[in-house]
Amino acid sequence: MKKDRIIIPVASGKGGVGKSVFSSNLAIAIAQLGHKTLAIDLDLGGSNLHTYLGLSNKYNGIGDYLKAKNVKFKDLIVETDIPNLSFIPGEGRTPFLANIPFEQRLDVIQNIQQVTAEYILLDLGAGTTFNTLNFFGISHQGILVTTFETPALMNFLMFLKNFLYRVISSIVRHDRQVFKMVVNTFRTNQPEDPLTVRSLLEMIHEKSPELASRAKKAINYYHPRIIFNMGDHPDDLKMTNKIDSTLRQTLSLQVDYFGYIFYDPQIRQAGRQKEPLLITIPKSPFAIGVKDIARRIVKIWDKDINKSGERLYEATQKRYKQFKLN
């Protein structure tokens, strides 16, 4: 894989949290900063990224590539009217593709790693299907979108849990005995006695210290980045401390808090437009929130972020005051 491209998968535990409207407009914002950007709709079974980009559904997509022998991956790329922005549709004209076989997923991933662009954004399906978990693992810094509502936060934690168990089970897969133990432990887990990654690693360690250490390394490699959407007030972010301690205790995982977008009634008022929101309402809190995130991505995506929760809180407070004055 060439080093000059950054692949950013965008996932969410729950549907309807704004993942597609965010990832489409984020792609536009990065393109507007002058970087060659490609948005790929990988929500196979619920593709709608084209709508948010103001495009019709007349092009071949990943679905057609997987179904028809004569469609080449690189021919799926649609140049948009927005400078620097191209797009690959999802189902295209071949719907009903929610779960594709492993080999096909691999093929799609390898193709994505070959396309030429500086930033490649992947809009994934909600939830924890194998498709989504696999695609999310393409990068060690995938984006997870959530709102502050309890069901969304629960599904957000559930997503990370399923993702890590998938990472662990793929590492122990070749050792039948250990693999069976991991799968059984995960399956028979009781809600009143929640399984932790630490206890699972200890169990693996008893059977194979080498596999346990490889699994631990793999988990340390991932630093998902969190975008909160539809926020009301910066104080929403006070819960990041609680999220951090839950993640540390149950999943031994560290995440970065990367962005916050306010609930923005203008989105609904803008209605179904032929043009994307970043173009029609560029000064709205939604557009400003997305552009803040785009700038942060271009500036610090590769860097470690210290005290990300506190930094995001400060940045969000500044924006809150500004929006309140308007």
Residue of the chain from 13, 18, 127, 276 that contacts ligand ADP (CB under 6 A): 18
Are 263 and 230 in contact, with CB atoms under 8 Å apart?
yes
Q: Which is nearer to ligand ADP, 17 or 122 (CB)?
A: 17
CB atoms within 10 A of CB 113: 13
Are 89 and 41 in contact, with CB atoms under 8 Å apart?
yes
Question: Should residue 19 be labelled a site residue for ligand ADP when binding is judged by CB under 6 A?
Answer: yes
Q: And the tokens for 205?
A: 């360690």
- What single letter denotes the amino acid at residue 19? K
Question: Should residue 251 be labelled a site residue for ligand ADP when binding is judged by CB under 6 A?
Answer: no
Residue of the chain from 39, 200, 227, 230 that contacts ligand ADP (CB under 6 A): 230
CB atoms within 10 A of CB 141: 19
Q: Which of residues 255-284 bind ligand ADP (CB under 6 A)?
A: 261, 263-264, 267
Question: Should residue 12 be labelled a site residue for ligand ADP when binding is judged by CB under 6 A?
Answer: yes
Question: Should residue 41 be labelled a site residue for ligand ADP when binding is judged by CB under 6 A?
Answer: no
12 binds, among Mg ion, ligand ADP, none (CB under 5 to 8 A by kind): ligand ADP
229 binds, among Mg ion, ligand ADP, none (CB under 5 to 8 A by kind): ligand ADP
Segment near ligand ADP (CB under 6 A), from 18-26, 63-71, 74-82, 236-244? 18-26
Round to whole Å and give the CA distance between 169 and 188. 15
Annotate each residue in 225-244 with x if it binds Mg ion (CB under 5 A) or - if it does not, as one string: --------------------
Are 255 and 240 in contact, with CB atoms under 8 Å apart?
no
Bridge partners of residue 49, in order along the sequence: none
Distance of CA 308 to the CA centre of its chain: 18
Residue of the chain from 13, 18, 20, 297 that contacts Mg ion (CB under 5 A): 20
Are 132 and 51 in contact, with CB atoms under 8 Å apart?
no
Q: Which is nearer to ligand ADP, 165 or 260 (CB)?
A: 260
Q: And the tokens for 290?
A: 């997305």
Are 148 and 230 in contact, with CB atoms under 8 Å apart?
yes
Give contact residues for Mg ion (rule: CB under 5 A).
19-20
Residues at the interface with ligand ADP (CB under 6 A): 12, 15-21, 126, 229-230, 261, 263-264, 267, 286
